[in-house]
Structure 1
Amino acid sequence: MKYKRRDNNVYHIRLENEDDLYHLNLLLDEGDQIRALTERRETAQSDRIRKERGKKQKMKLTIDVKTLEYQSFGQRFRCHGVISVGENNQGLHHTLILEPGDSFDIKKLVWLKHHKERMKKAAEPIVTATAIAIESDSIVIAELRTYGIRELKTLNRAGSGKSTGGEELNDFYVRAVKQIVKVHVENSVIVIIGPGFLKEDFADVGKSKASEIFSGCVIENSGQGGMAGIHEAIGRGDLPKAVAQIKIQEEMAAVERLKEAIAKDLGTYGKNEVKNAVEKGAAEIILMISDKTKEEEEWELLEVAEKNRTEVIEVSALHHGG
């Protein structure tokens, strides 16, 4: 995301990738105003009588935000509202459809600190990874993004793999590599996860068949395979620097540290308990589900945390840690 301040209450925003839609969903609040180029079907009075639909025309409109529609890993963001500025359209309902490449202005009555922090996070270079969980009879391919994990494909080894005619392990690996090449996102780091030595064997096959994407692959151990193994490896929070910038790793590791602290009676949870600790200055770090930053009742807690220099880690609700 790129952003530029126009005046005290207006920022110009440009969406650059799918991750920006996630950030936009957390940035916008009901009552904000968005001004953007859009399409709207103009209907004259005579058209209404004939029940004919007018042609869509491009125009710039400003809408007062009412509701937002966002789907994780989606490519479009819908913003529903009422037109406040637009020739002959004031007071009518309209839906803005925003996607990467679009530019628009956002106006808020007040830009709070967490709004500005959200834009800063969105402006950071994105880092993605393709996680591959290896087992002898199945391979799971998943996409790791800023805000969550999405399972892309599960491959099962044909037959038993024995002398009864089942698929040989090496052939299974070659088939999996071909599928990974198809779904791999450019510049995305490959992380191979699994128990035992299977992951090393798979990495060797990957490097021999598709060195362009496997040459810098990262190998991580886990006690189990599948999506559970991927969550386990990420939750430890010790992936190499190549993928350390993926926010989901930081978030899941923070959740694991909280669990450990609670078990040792060094941490707490619950709305009132956390609020009490923050107000007393006894909280070093607090974890908050990202969606909660949109609720006004939580803004006071964020202000107190800032005053007491308490670190706030936002955790996405779109992955296992949330």
Structure 2
Amino acid sequence: MIIKNVDEFTISFLIEETDDLLTLRRVIKNGDRVTADTTRVIKQEKDFARPDRGERIKIRIALEVEKIALDSVFDRLRIAGIIVESSSEEVSKGVHHSLLLKIGDSLNVTKKKWLPLDMRLIKKRDEGAGFVLVAIDKGDCGIGKLKGTHLQIIQNLYSGSSGKRYKSSFNIEPFFDVVLGALQTVLKENDAIIVFGPGETKKQFVNHIQKSPLAKKHRIETVEGIDSGGEDGIYTFIKSKSMQQILGQTKLGKVAAILEDIMIKAHHKSKKFTMGFEETKKANQFGAIESLVFSEKIIQTHDESQIIEFLNEVESKGVTVYALDSTTDIGMQVSGLGGMVSLLRFPVES
């Protein structure tokens, strides 16, 4: 998330990933003012205009927030309230409206006072840049983007040789050029490129990258042991030990380590972990939580406002909190464990 202080009371945000939407959900409160671009239907009043038709125009409005909610998969944030400012004379102040925010949108948030926890949440950065994952074989190539704990499958490309015998005369370099072109559209500054897949194709592709300008701008790593290309290869990598080794200091790598630690503790019948909201809530009452991981399931199955309030309470105590969605196997694993787990500093009796 890109943030910029406008003045003492207003901060501007550009949403870059799903984690940013969750952060905004935790920061924005009822009574705050949110300013953003939206569209609204303006009824026609001209002669011969159909009474049931209107013109949809783009306007910039400021809402006094009355209600805020995430959708079920964390990729959109709906903010409802009363319009207090409008860039169009056709839109009256005092009427209700809702904003639907998603990745790529920008907004200003104005508060009477920014709390220390608010500032901690919005200034928190992912350790390290994003990762562009390339699962390549002679027949196809899957490209994915891993940022924070969210995996986005960008596209699957095909060389046109699938199903044929690969002869020595087959020229794969034009296919490599197509893949390079696709990478240039998704790579951002400081992103790393992780290449894997069956056979020797991945090494040939890395050699091809080394001849391009991308090699000077981005770190490139080759991963062995992933025997699938395309989209299947990306999901195989996300579940692998190689992922944990390469991404160890990123959010996803740290969450994977936390879950592995919890599984070990469960096997040894240790009580220094929790599963589910009620267990975790009790541990928090004793100040026992060291780190907490939750998935979208906890918001789907519990009152959203209660969960948001709980997460903010936990984080205000200095606990590290990680959010996951269902784009990764790790996210689905946390959902299967009740949607929330935590490691404890000391055991808490149930």
Q: TM-score, normalised to structure 2's length?
A: 0.66
Contact 2:23 2:122 survives alignment (8 Å) = no
Q: Is 1:238 the equivalent of 2:231?
A: no
Q: Give the distance between the partners of 2:67 and 2:48, measured in 1 at CA.
A: 30
> What RMSD, in angstroms, separates the aligned Cα atoms of the two structures?
4.4
* Cα distance in 2, alignment partners of residues 170 and 264 from structure 1: 54
Give the match for residue 324 of structure 2: 316
Q: Find the aligned partners of 1:180 and 1:189 in 2 and give their Cα distance.
A: 14
Counting aligned pairs with the same residue, the percent is 16
- The CA deviation at 1:23 is 1.0
2:65 maps to amino acid: D
Q: Which residue among 215, 227, 238 is the counterpart of 2:234? A: 227
Q: d(CA) in 1 for partners of 2:37 and 2:44?
A: 22
Give yes or no for contact 1:131–1:191 (8 Å, CA) kept in 2: yes
Matched residues, number: 305
Instruction: From 274, 277, 282, give the equivalent of 1:271.
Output: 277
Q: 1:301: how far off?
A: 6.4
Instruction: Report if the CA contact (8 A) 2:61-2:83 is conserved.
Output: no
Alpha-carbon contact 1:43-1:54 (below 8 Å) kept: yes
SS at match of 1:116: helix
- Structure 1 residues 273, 195: CA separation in 2 closer, same or farther (over 3 Å shift)? farther
Matching of residues 47-62 of structure 1 within 5 Å: 51=51, 53=54, 56=57, 58=59, 60-62=61-63
Aligned mates of 2:112, 2:237 — CA distance in 1: 39
Find the partner of 1:151 among 153, 157, 173: 153
1:18 equivalent in structure 2: 16
User: Kindly tell me: are residues 272 and 67 of structure 1, through their superposed partners in 2, closer, same or farther at Cα, counting changes over 3 Å?
Assistant: closer
1:130 Cα deviation (Å)?
A: 1.3
Deviation at 1:149, TM superposition (A): 1.2
Q: Check whether the contact 2:82–2:94 (CA below 8 A) recurs between aligned residues.
A: yes
203, 208, 215: which is aligned to 1:205?
A: 208
- Give deviations 1:74-119, integer Å, cap 9, x for gaps: 8xx6644232424772442324466757452233898472x43320
Per mean C-alpha deviation after superposition, the further-off stretch among 85-94 and 103-112 is 103-112
Q: Deviations over 1:40-82 (max 9, x none)?
A: 66858966996374784755432424355779898xx664423
- Secondary structure in 2 aligned to 1:230? helix
Which 5+ residue runs of structure 1 have no aligned equivalent? none
Q: Is the 8 A contact 2:19 2:323 kept in 1?
A: no
Q: Partner residue of 2:259?
A: 255
AA aligned opposite 1:171: N
Residue 260 of structure 1 deviates from its aligned partner by 3.5
Does the 8 Å CA contact 1:42/1:55 hold for their aligned counterparts? yes
Change (3 A) 1:190 1:314: same
Q: 1:249 to 1:94 in 2, by over 3 A?
A: same
CA contact (8 A) 1:142 1:149 kept: yes
Change (3 A) 1:58 1:304: closer
Pair 139,66 (structure 1): closer, same or farther in 2 beyond 3 Å: same
Structure 2 residue runs of 5 or longer lacking an equivalent are 332-350
Q: C-alpha displacement at 1:211, in angstroms? A: 5.1
Q: Aligned partners of 2:286 and 2:74: how far apart in 1?
A: 39
* C-alpha separation in 2, matches of 1:302 and 1:67: 15
Q: Is the 8 A contact 1:236 1:256 kept in 2?
A: no
Asked if 2 retains the 8 angstrom alpha-carbon contact of 1:132 and 1:139, the reply is: yes
Match of residue 288 from structure 1: 294
Q: Which amino acid aligns with 1:26?
A: T
Distance 1:277 1:59, change over 3 A: closer
Secondary structure at the residue paired with 1:221?
coil
Instruction: Specify the code of the residue in structure 2 equivalent to 1:153.
Output: Q
Alignment-mate amino acid for residue 150 of structure 1? Q
1:178 aligned onto 2:186: no
Q: Shift of the alpha carbon at 1:212? A: 2.8
